[in-house]
Amino acid sequence: MSGLNQEQIEHLGRLMDERWTREFGEIRSLLASGGELQQHTALGQREADTSDEALLNSLSATNQALIQQNLQDVRDVAAARQRLAAGTYGECTDCGADIDYRRLLAYPTAKRCIDCQRTHEQRKGQR
């Protein structure tokens, strides 16, 4: 396990729980708003002209993108929880070094130390 003490691990665990709850709440809200938009249009409660359809399509695409991001955030929390259970939480998956506690406070699901994350992003940007 990384150099984190029990108090730090518990605090980070609470942060992950809060994020999990927040992300699922946002997913539910987005799904509900998407359903309301479709139902509103399908029931003919307003005349659908070209601009209305374009707006609905745009909102639908935006909601889908936001839902995908929220789902990725939920997956990140689940993966961090798995690392916690395995005793590897707080260790960089690339180099094995401890991830700084301040980084984990800002980003509790971080799987790389800041140096490896920079390298990862640079490589990703070169593709």
Which residues, at least 6 apart from 120, have a Cβ–Cβ distance to it below 8 Å?
Answer: 94, 112
**What is the C-alpha R_g of the chain?**
20
Supply 53's token pair: 């359809």
Per-residue pLDDT, 126: 84
Q: Is 45 exposed, middle or buried (0-12, 13-18, 19+ CB in 10 A)?
A: exposed
- Spatial CA neighbour of 2 closest among 76, 107, 77, 113: 113
Catalogue all structural domains in the chain, each as residue range(s) with its CATH number. 6-126 (1.20.120.910)
Per-residue pLDDT, 31: 83
pLDDT (tens, 9 = 90+) of the chain, 127 residues, equals: 578 999 999 999 999 999 999 998 998 888 887 665 555 555 455 555 555 566 556 667 788 888 889 999 999 999 999 999 999 999 999 999 999 999 999 999 999 999 999 999 999 888 7
